Structure 1
Amino acid sequence: MRIGLTGGIASGKSTVSALLREHGAVVIDADQLAREVVAKGTPGLEQVVEAFGPEILTPEGEMDRAAVGAIVFADEGRRRVLESIVHPLVFERVVELEAAAGADDLVVHDIPLLAESGRADTFDAVLVVDAPAEVQVERMLRDRGWTQEDAESRIAAQATRADRLAVATHVIDNTGTLDDLRRRVTEVVEELLGPER
């Protein structure tokens, strides 16, 4: 079963992802894969260096994410070049990971911008980790040391809470305790796979 997992920034999506792993889910994190395919020594990194030059490498030979980010966020053409390298490599890894999963496994795609992508209907179910904006802001101030303005602008740059909830087949409320969250995740897994899991 292919599941989409999403949630706004500081909603607790990473925690839910970890709890799903505890239930035996195969979690495919596109952001993590995007880092892996351009890790030091990979053909992906060689392609990025070929396209952007050796100055995007750190002294240790790794991709300087900040330097590449400064280039691609300032120039859409350069961003497309980077995407043309990274996206096919990520897709290849996703296909490999899905193929390696068992027929009865929950395969969870952790996609922060799922509501924005228009791909929610390509999954058997969509889990939305939900928290009100004021809770998200409070967490960013407390846990990330961000300013109120930074937190609010990051939330404003994402899909609205209503847009995310509109694509949900299952809502995972994350305004309570970790135990509350754990119970809700267990409920959702049982709804998807049956209580024997």
Structure 2
Amino acid sequence: MSNPWILGLTGGIGSGKSAAAQHFIDLGVHLVDADHAARWVVEPGRPALEHIVERFGPQVLQADGHLNRAALRQLIFEDAEQRHWLESLLHPLIGNEIRDYLAKATSPYAILVSPLLIESGQKQMTQRVLVVDAPEHLQVQRTMQRDQSPEEQVRAILKVQASREERLRHADDVLLNDRDAAWLRSEVERLHRFYLTLNGGRS
């Protein structure tokens, strides 16, 4: 059996990429989420966590030995050098974790879901890119409803993510998620049927 090809799935906050990803899982597609991989690499007992504690001290740990993300975020947020150190430690480990997980796929194609697919360079692991897209006003509205966040906060997050134009420039396929949940499901099913006809992610 040939190795599955890899589809990169990305989209801005509130675009509906998690809902789209879940529909692909329901259709039997093997999927790994880069955010989950980022959490796995810093679990207690993993070398990355030991390196982080060596560098920043025990204040970056919670009482149960897990990483205190908020404390770490505060330490690196204003210090570009520390942030680069952390990224150069974690990005290769996250990449390995993702590759190992994708290598276990038995579906004809597998999916890497990553909000930072373009920005992080994870796009290089994929043969094709699907962008879940939504008009900005919808992204803001959905995120405010989901996270109970104020509008300014949502707009600040949008500013640090790749722009909509930048993401679309890298897209092989675009799923415009500007209607209801049933529409999203039917679009995922349509794309899935198309992806099953592709060889190595290309028609």
TM-score between the two structures when normalised by the length of structure 1: 0.90
Structure richer in helix, relative to its length? 1
Q: Secondary structure at the match of 2:168?
A: helix
Matches within 5 A, 1:1-197: 1-102=5-106, 104-117=107-120, 120=123, 123-194=126-197
Segments of 5+ residues of structure 2 without an aligned counterpart are: 199-203
Q: For the Cα contact (< 8 Å) 1:115–1:164, is it kept in 2? A: yes
Deviation (angstroms), 1:194 = 3.3
Q: For the Cα contact (< 8 Å) 1:120–1:167, is it kept in 2? A: no
- Number of equivalences: 194
Give, as a single letter, the amino acid of the residue that structure 2 aligns with 1:125. R
Q: For the Cα contact (< 8 Å) 1:128–1:170, is it kept in 2? A: yes
Deviation (angstroms), 1:156 = 2.2
Deviation sequence 1:133-159 (CA, Å, 0-9, x none): 000111122221122222222222222
Deviation (angstroms), 1:162 = 2.0
Change (3 A) 1:49 1:117: closer
Query: Hey, what's the Cα distance between the residues in 1 that align with 2:38 and 2:156?
Result: 24
Deviation (angstroms), 1:9 = 0.6
Q: Secondary structure at the match of 1:116?
A: coil
RMSD: 1.9
Percent of aligned pairs sharing the same letter = 37
Deviation (angstroms), 1:117 = 4.4
Give, as a single letter, the amino acid of the residue that structure 2 aligns with 1:59. A
Change (3 A) 1:141 1:45: same
Give, as a single letter, the amino acid of the residue that structure 2 aligns with 1:142. Q
Deviation (angstroms), 1:170 = 1.3
Deviation sequence 1:17-62 (CA, Å, 0-9, x none): 1111112222121111111111123222122112221121111111
Q: Secondary structure at the match of 2:132?
A: strand
Deviation (angstroms), 1:192 = 0.9
Give, as a single letter, the amino acid of the residue that structure 2 aligns with 1:162. E
Change (3 A) 1:29 1:177: same
Query: Hey, what's the Cα distance between the residues in 2 that align with 1:120 and 1:44?
Result: 23
Query: Hey, what's the Cα distance between the residues in 2 that align with 1:119 and 1:84?
Result: 14
Segments of 5+ residues of structure 1 without an aligned counterpart are: none
Deviation (angstroms), 1:80 = 2.1
Match of 2:201?
Answer: none
Q: For the Cα contact (< 8 Å) 1:130–1:174, is it kept in 2? A: yes
Query: Hey, what's the Cα distance between the residues in 2 that align with 1:17 and 1:27?
Result: 8
Give, as a single letter, the amino acid of the residue that structure 1 aligns with 2:136. A
